[in-house]
A and B are shown apart, each in its own frame.
Chain A
Amino acid sequence: MLGLVFREIQFRRWSFALATFAVAAAAAMIFGSEALLRLEQLMTQKILKEQQELTESSIREHEKQVAAAGAKLQDTVRKQMLTLGFNILILPKGVDFAKLHMDSTVTETMPYSYAEKLANSDIVSVNHLLPSVTKRIRWSEYELDIVLNGTRGEIPIMHRALKQPLLDAVAPGQVVLGSAVQQRLKLELGQKVTLQGREFTVSKIQPERGSIDDMSVWIDLAAAQEMLGMQNLIHAILALECECSGDRISEVRNEIAGILPGTQVIERYSQALTRAEARTESKRAAEESLAMAKSEGNATLKRIHDERTTLLNQQQMLNNILQPTVLVLTCCIVAALAFHNFRQRKSEIGLMRALGLGSSSILGAFLGKAILIGGLGGAVGVAAGIGIFLVQGLGRNRILSVTDTWSSASLTWTAIWVPILMVLLTVVASWLAAYQAIRQDAAVVLQGD
């Protein structure tokens, strides 16, 4: 019987080809549309993942910037306290403040031991101690008025853990120049200079500060004391990172007065505070930028997600309309061709009846052909659909490898169910014609002659 089916197909090959083509086109469309939809879904996942990574990367970058701004703020404030004095200055009583402010010269002295005494006390409101001598002198070798500063490294405070020093000490035999001094004298780093008959090497040139520091020179404390005839004497003790802001300054003054009688405390902080606040503002701006980056990143993600969801929904809706339409049209075409085939074969069916063939054989002849049309059309259509998938999908988007995309999109299952669907469709579409064939009264056909 199967041989008869094949012979009949061969005889009416164009009708078979037309039906198979219709089924193949439907299968290709269904497989292709399903595959492209899956591809779009994969693409959406990839785009969202990439955008997520981009956003997270941007947020990480902003977090780094915030952290860097915070660290810079901390470091800057710490150093500014050194140079500009978010700190207190401990001076001997009776200092002429006019001279102090006019030319940074302290008129009175106090023992160097005060610094050690303070360091050995149980004071809690002071973190760093820098004893110094400061005097305006004439640098006779260069005929230039300068402020000579003698300083040393920080004196460790006995009851505290050792802290990171805020200022490196000037090593004996070396000199640090203010920027204006360097510019006037055209001195270079490493150059030997003579100061009041002593030889020094220029070890550092301070950047321009716009203050009396620009006309200052720093040398080792002991050398300065000798040079100024102030052995074991100092002019001031700079106490840094004091917890002396606001209304606690009076407590600090009282605490120091108790330890170092005959001294007075002044505070220097306003400019440092301004800069610190600027840095704080900078950090706050960075934090706001971070929050904005997060917000914008999330908004971008949501926008892309919404756009892709809309696109997918539109494509899904198109598929929901297109696929049933194509199936119905294909069903109609196959049914029409099957019915035409039945009309062509009426005489043959009558003969088969006369030759003793039963209804099941005639039904088998029609439905067997339908299964062949569905199976072949489905297979060819899926092959064409794979072609569409490769050309229109991977060729255009190139988001994944062929095998990855195939497995990710579960196309194997689609490639199986589409031909099965096509077989079912052709069987259903051919059923009416097959039913007509088995219901046909062979006697009427044979009598018709």
Chain B
Amino acid sequence: MTAPAIEDLLRELTPQVLGALVRRHGQFEGCEDAVQEAVLAATVQWPDGGVPDNPRGWLMTVASRRLIDQMRSDQARRERESATATEVAPEDVPDTDDTLILLFLCCHPTLTAASQTALTLRAVGGLTTAEIARAFLVPEATMAARISRAKQRIKAAGSSFSLPDGAEREERLQVVLHVLYLIFNEGYTASSGSELHRADLAHEAIRLARMVHAQLPEDGEVTGLLALMLLTHARREARTTAAGDLVPLDEQDRAKWDRGLIDEGIELVKASLAVPALGPYQLQAAIAATHADAVTARETNWPQVHALYLILERIAPNPVVTLNRAIALAETEGPVAGLALLSTLDSDERMAGHHRLLSVRAHLLEKTGDAPGAYEHYRRAAKATASIAEQRYLESRASRVRPRATSHEGAGQRT
């Protein structure tokens, strides 16, 4: 088996082994460390020594031994009576799928988003601390401390290893979906740095969303989130030039869009819209599907995009949604209508000086023919963004509408 295939296998087995171990011994905290050590041992041993016949059983045995060693040394340190834990026989893992319970635990509401994403990637995604640290561009020690702190908090919160019921389950699921969405976004547009695609994280988020979807196929929002990820990921090749410059949606070469992902995404959107209750992910996926349906940017069904944003704005009011609706409105009723809608956001503190508000306004001003206004707003947006790729894009838009040099300045230039 190749190293990437081993990696895939380990990532798939991690939550299964962890779930089974926690069911047997309790203490999520210690079990999670033990599974991580077993995964690391497998990464070292399997490529050369070969994958064992029963990889799940192997991981379970190694993790159990680590856990028991840990429990014993803890006991010794506390000078208590020795070993109550017994060695477990190398047996296979039961078939219960604990992925959801683990996700609920890792996305515990008392944790910060940064901790939730890190713990989810390790405990459910099966990534090593070093891999997660690399993905988020921090030292491994930083990531290790963050994960360990997160587990202490979960322990302190006294969570049980079971699925929450009713309304709490619904709320907690929202947190899980948000965390998966954040992981995807981190992979899609790095929040800092010059690297626009961190494909691994986007890929991981899709894989985790697929796992949740397999568990909850009837949940419209889970389906919607998976569809949204697939439809967005489908555009990745078209989103940047070879030089790494951003290409806006209307200028993308749609032949580079991944048809397979789009077809799968559209099917999921259709399925999710058949379920009565509509949620934000379903609507965003429906918007992405509308864009994916257009063979050229010109053929985009903007009235439909606008109508979808309008519903989204009603069920989940948010200035960024209004901002996006303004773009759609400008396409259906003209840039002046879009600018009028944007002006309703000026008093919103969350959007004050936000680069997205500045850049959309710049774009719409450009469409009305107000080059100086567009230039000023593109420049301000370029200063406000924390993304180098976006800054480069905004600077290039600014130079396209830069007011012409005065005759004095231009006098020395050759034509």
A and B form one complex:
no
Interface residues of A (CB under 8 A from B): none
Interface residues of B (CB under 8 A from A): none
